[in-house]
Structure formats: structure tokens, C-alpha cells
Structure 1
Amino acid sequence: MYKYILRRMLQMVPVIIGSTFIIFWMVFSMPGDPTAGMCGDRPCAPGFVKQFRLEHNLDDPFPVQYAKYMGNVVTGDLGTNFRQIKVSDELGQRYPITGKLALMAIVFETVIGIIAGILSGVRKGKFIDNLVLVSTLFVISVPVFVIGFLLQFYVGVKLGLAPVTYQADHPTRSLIMPAFVLGSASIAYVARLTRTNLVENLRADYVRTAVSKGLTRGRAIGVHAMRNSLVPVVTFIGADFGGLLGGAIVTERIFNIPGVGGFLYQGIHNHDGVSVVGTVTVLVLVFLLVNLFVDLLYGVLDPRISHD
């Protein structure tokens, strides 16, 4: 087990270097002047521009810029953005909010998606099965910002059941609706994936053998079929967590949530490469660690999977 974890940690190193290199190159090769708008309506003085480019290594060759950046990242320094704000401090304030939003979305997609998938798989061809398939297809087809605006208007404004925007004095309550919106498409995918795998496993020989030996159908489904059916579902949920962190930009802007998504959007809009690369670097690290945890969870769900 420990050798497997160490091997996976070593495999993360080239992934981190490769992903940050690509992001760094894409961001700093974008056209535009990062000093534009920093001095009001007038262009900045040549002396200010020269000092600014010197402080942020913008005149250095690209390999030198990247080497200096990664040297700082190794020490835990994500750099200071073009507004003279440390990226680590800004992310430290915003990541707990976005992380909480993503975790709540994961809970929604896990609980609702798996329960809907089980009901649909067990009652294959019945009313509940058709209802789940049609409703999930509808959710997948509708863009997330449309679902957000609809729930914001009807649930928040018309019915008054939830805050329309983020409220710092009621953070958990005001994140419930955005979390559901963020995880809505994933709920549909989890439900359909659970249903497909459960139906396939219910036709397997080992389930029929277990039932023929006297095991109740409920126990055969819960103990045998579900464990094997959840392996691809857990894979999807683990991969989706990183996607939820990065995909929260739209949801955070709809509900005015001061999270990582808004910070990343501001960095792209202002051509602030340091903010963008620092944010994406942390996203990559979180994504890799979550997927390592998911790989270790495989052994719990299916004893045939070994990490020795």
C-alpha cells in the first residue's frame, strides 16, 4: 500500500510540471498589456511600466520566467499578482468557500444520483425508470446557467425558500441552492451510470447464483451487485470533484459567491497571469490528490483490486 502511494506521488510530479507549463505558456502568451487600466484612463508612465515588468519578470525569456515561478511554487509561494496581492492569501480566503460549495455539490450528486440510479435499475422498464431517464436527460440538456437563473427566480424570489445570492452571515444556507445547481448535471450522470451498471450486474451469474442459494434479492443487490456497480460511479465522482472546483465560475457569478471561480475570472479578464497560473496549479494538486484517494477506495469496494 505504502509503495503504491509513494509511486503515485512520484507520478504526480511530471503531471504537475507538464500541466503548469502548458497553463503558464498559454496565459503569458495571450495578447494584451497587463498594465492597461492600472493607471486610470491614461496610459501608465514608461517608468512605471518598466518597473512593473521587471518585478514580474515579464522581460525574461519564457523558460526563465517558468523556472523562477516553479522555484517559488516549490517553497509554497504562488507569487504576487499584478495588483500586488499575494495569490496564496487570496486563495486562502476563497478556497474554503469554493471547497464547501463543491463538497455540498458532491453530496447532492452522490446521494440523489445513486438513490435515483438504484430505483431506476431495480425497477427497470417501470414508471420510476422512465421518469429517471427522462428527467436526467432533461437536466443534461439544459445549460447550468439556465437552471441557476430558474431556481434563483422561482425558489429564491417567488417562494423565498433560499437566499438569492451569497450571504456571509449565513454561508451554509446560502450555498445549498448554488451547490444543487453546480451538481445538477452530475446528479443526472451519476443516476444514469448507477442504473446502467446495476442493471448489468443484476444479470450477472454471481447474483443469480446468490439468489438461488437462498440469499434474499435485497441482500444480493445491496451486498453484491451494488458494490461492483459503484466502482465506475466512484471513479466519475472523484474525477468530477476537480471539475466542480474549476466549473464553479458560472455558478459563483450567478449567485455572487466570493470564491475561487470569481478570482480566476478576474485574473483572466485583467490578463493577470500570476493569479490564473497560481489558481490552476492548486486546482491540479487538489484534483490529483482526490483521484489518489479514489484509487485507494477501489480496494474497499472491490477486494479483487489490490494496491500491493
Structure 2
Amino acid sequence: MLKYVIRRLLQMIPVVIGATFILFCLVFALPGDPTAGRCGERPCPPAYVAAFRREYHLDQPLIVQYGLYMAKLLRGDLGVNFYGNTVVSELAARYPVTVKLAIIALLVEIFIGITAGVIAGVRNGRFLDYLILVSSLVVISIPIFVIGSLAQLVFGMKLGWFPVTAGDGSWNQLVLPGFVLGALSVAYVARLTRANLIENQHADYVRTAKAKGLSGLRTVTVHTLRNSLIPVITYIGYDFGALMGGAIVTERIFNVNGIGNFIFRSINQRDGVSVVGAVTCLVLVYLLANLLVDLLYGVLDPRISHD
């Protein structure tokens, strides 16, 4: 197991280098002047522009800029953004809010999605199955900004059950945006769980368990569901990386001061240092989430070995 983890961590190094290089080129090679609007309605003086470009190495070739950035990254330094703040401090101030939001969305995704999928799989071809399939299809078909706006209107303004905006990012203020963020994933998890559960119900080991006299509930919970969750765990692990990155649309709708909102503002302000630093952290989160999912395979299915 330890050798497998070390090997996977070493494999992450070229992935991080390649991802950061592509991201750096995409961000800093785009046309546009990052000093535009920094001096009000008047254009910035040439001396200020020259000093700004020199401070952030924008006067250097792109490959030199990337080399300087990677030298800082190896020391754990994500750089200083165009407003004089370190990217690490900016992310540290916002990541706790995004983590809370991701945890709520993940819990919604796991408990509601898997439960609905199991019910639909067990009741295959019956009313509950069709109801869950149609409901999930409706959720998938509606854009997330529509779901968020409707949730604000109904549960926030009409019923008054939840705050309309996130405010200071406390747990109760993030419940509604967490449900909205996890709504799309709930639909996919439910359909994926249902499909795998139905497929595994016809497996030989399930027929053997039933022949031994095991109840339907025990057969599903102990045998069928465990193997059916492997592809579901794969999807949840991938989605967890996305949730940890924050959802730009959801955070904008509910004014959540998280990573997604930070990336959105940084793009609007042409703050390339903040964009590259934030997305680099997201790449690391994705890679670590995928590693965790691979390790969980061995727990769910003993036949899978990481030796």
C-alpha cells in the first residue's frame, strides 16, 4: 500500500508541471492590459506601467515568467497578486467557506443520491422507480443558475426557511447553496446507483445469497450495494474535487465568499497571479481526491489490490 501511494505521488509531479504550464500560458498569453482601470478613468502613466510590469516580470518572455513562478511554487509560494496580497493568504481566508459548502453538498449527494438510487433499483419498473428517474431527469435538464434562483425565491424569500445570501459563511447560511450545489450531482448519483444495482442483482453471487435464505434487505445492503458503489465512489471522488474548487455560478448567486467567487473576480480584474495560484491548488485537490478514491476501491472490493 505504501509503495502504491508513493508511486502515485511521484506520478502527480509531471501532471502538476504540465497542468500549471498550460494554465500559465493560457492566462498570461491572453491579450489585455492588467493595468487597465487601475488609475481610474485616466490611463496609467508610462512610468507606473513599466514599474508594474517589471515587478511582476511581465516584461520577460513567457517561458522565463513560468520558470520564476515554478521556483516560487516549489517553496510553497503562490506569489503576490496584482493588489499586493499574497495568494496563499487570499486562499486561506476563503477555503474554509468553500470546504463547508463542499461538505454540505457532498453529504446531500451521498445520502439523498444513493438512497434514491437504491430505492429506484429495488423498485425497478414500479412507480417509485419512474418517479425518481423523471425527477432526476428534470434536475439534470434545468441549468444550475435557474435552480439557485428558484431556491432563493421559494425557500429564502417566500418561506423564509434559509438566508438568501451566505453572509459570513456560517453553516446555517450555507445549507441552501449547499443543496443547490449538490442538486445536479444527486441526480447523477441516483441514476448511477440504480443502474449498477439493477445490473448486480442478476449476478451469480446474489442468486447464491438468495438461495441460502438471506432476506432481500440483507442481500441488497451486504452484497449487492457494496459492489454497486464502486463506480459511484469514482464519480463522487471526482465530484469532490470539483466541489472543493467551489462552484462559480452557485457562489455568485448566493454571494459566497469562497474560492469560486475569488476566481471569478480575479478573471474580471485580469489578476493572472491569483487565477493561476487558485487553479493550481484545485489541481492538487483533484489529484489527491483521485488517490483517495483509488484507495477506497480496496475497501469496497477486496479483490482489488494496491500491492
**What TM-score range do you get, normalising by the shorter chain?**
over 0.9
Residue 171 of structure 2 corresponds to 172
1:267 is aligned to 266
- Residue correspondence of structure 1 range 184-195 to structure 2 within 5 A: 184-195=183-194
Task: Tell me the distance in 1 between the aligned counterparts of 2:133 and 2:242.
Answer: 23
Q: Which residue of 2 aligns with 1:58?
A: 58
In 2, the alpha carbon distance for the partners of 1:63 and 1:81 equals 19
Q: Is residue 29 of structure 2 the alignment partner of residue 29 of structure 1? A: yes
Q: Could you tell me whether the CA contact under 8 Å between 2:102 and 2:246 is conserved in 1? A: no
Question: What is the alpha-carbon distance in structure 2 between the residues aligned to residue 245 and residue 262 of structure 1?
Answer: 13
Letter in structure 2 aligned against 1:77: D
> Can you list the C-alpha shifts for 1:100-158, whole angstroms capped at 9, x where unaligned?
10111011001000000000000001111000000000000000000000010010000
Cα deviation, residue 244, structure 1? 2.2
Determine the structure 2 residue equivalent to 1:302.
301
The count of corresponding residues between Structure 1 and Structure 2 is 307
- Secondary structure of 1:284 counterpart: helix
1:231 is displaced (CA, Å) by: 0.3
Report the counterpart of residue 38 of structure 2 in structure 1: 38
Task: Give me the whole-angstrom Cα distance separating, in 2, the residues matched to 1:122 and 1:235.
Answer: 22
Q: Secondary structure at the match of 2:224?
A: helix
Whole-angstrom distance in 2 between the partners of 1:40 and 1:167: 29
Aligned partners of 2:63, 2:32: CA distance in 1, in Å?
20
Does the CA contact (< 8 Å) of 2:118 and 2:194 recur in 1?
A: yes
TM-score by length of 1: 0.98
Counterpart position of 1:197: 196
Offset at residue 62 of structure 1 (A): 1.0
| SS in structure 2 at match of 1:92 | helix
Taking the aligned partners of 1:195 and 1:247, their CA distance within structure 2 comes to 28
Is contact 2:109–2:182 with CA below 8 Å preserved after alignment? yes
Deviation at 1:247, TM superposition (A): 5.3
Q: What SS class does the counterpart of residue 304 from structure 1 fall into?
A: coil
Deviations 1:180-209 (A, max 9, x none): 101110000000000000000001111011
Measure how far apart 1:59 and its partner are: 1.0
Partner of 2:143: 143
Matched, 1:118 2:98: no
Determine if the alignment matches structure 1 residue 223 to structure 2 residue 222.
yes
How far 1:267 moved relative to its partner?
A: 1.1
Structure 1 residues 28-57: Cα deviation after superposition (integer angstroms, max 9, x where no partner): 011110000111111111111111001101
Give the CA deviation at 1:85: 1.0
| Contact 2:145 2:250 (C-alpha < 8 Å) held by counterparts | yes
Query: Could you list the runs of 5+ residues in structure 1 that have no partner in the other structure?
Result: none
Q: Could you list the per-position Cα deviations for residues 229-249 of structure 1 after superposition, in whole angstroms to 9, with x for gaps in the alignment? A: 000000000001122234511
2:29 and 2:62 in contact (8 A); partners too? no
Distance in 1 of aligned mates of 2:199 and 2:2: 34
Partner of 1:233: 232
CA–CA distance in structure 2, aligned partners of residues 106 and 265 of structure 1: 22
Counterpart in the other structure of 2:17: 17
The residue aligned with 1:214 is 213
What amino acid maps onto 1:67 in structure 2? G
In the alignment, structure 1 residue 72 sits paired with structure 2 residue 72: yes
SS at match of 2:292: helix
Letter of the aligned partner of 1:122 in structure 2? V
In structure 2, distance between residues paired with 1:16 and 1:183: 27
Partner of 2:247: 248
Q: 1: CA distance between counterparts of 2:139 and 2:163? A: 22
Structure 1 outlier segments of 4+, above 4 Å? none
User: Residue 277 of structure 2 corresponds to which residue in structure 1?
Assistant: 278
Shift of 1:79: 0.4
**Secondary structure, counterpart of 2:247 in structure 1:** helix
RMSD: 0.9
Bigger shift: residues 246-255 or 221-230: 246-255
Instruction: Give the Å deviation of 1:213.
Output: 1.6
Alpha-carbon distance between aligned partners in 2 of 1:163 and 1:271, rounded to the nearest angstrom = 32
Contact 2:105 2:178 in 1 (8 A): yes
Identity %: 61
Amino acid at match of 2:35: T
Mapped partners of 2:285, 2:69: distance in 1: 19
Which residue is equivalent to 2:156?
Answer: 156
**What is the TM-score with the length of structure 2 in the denominator?**
0.98
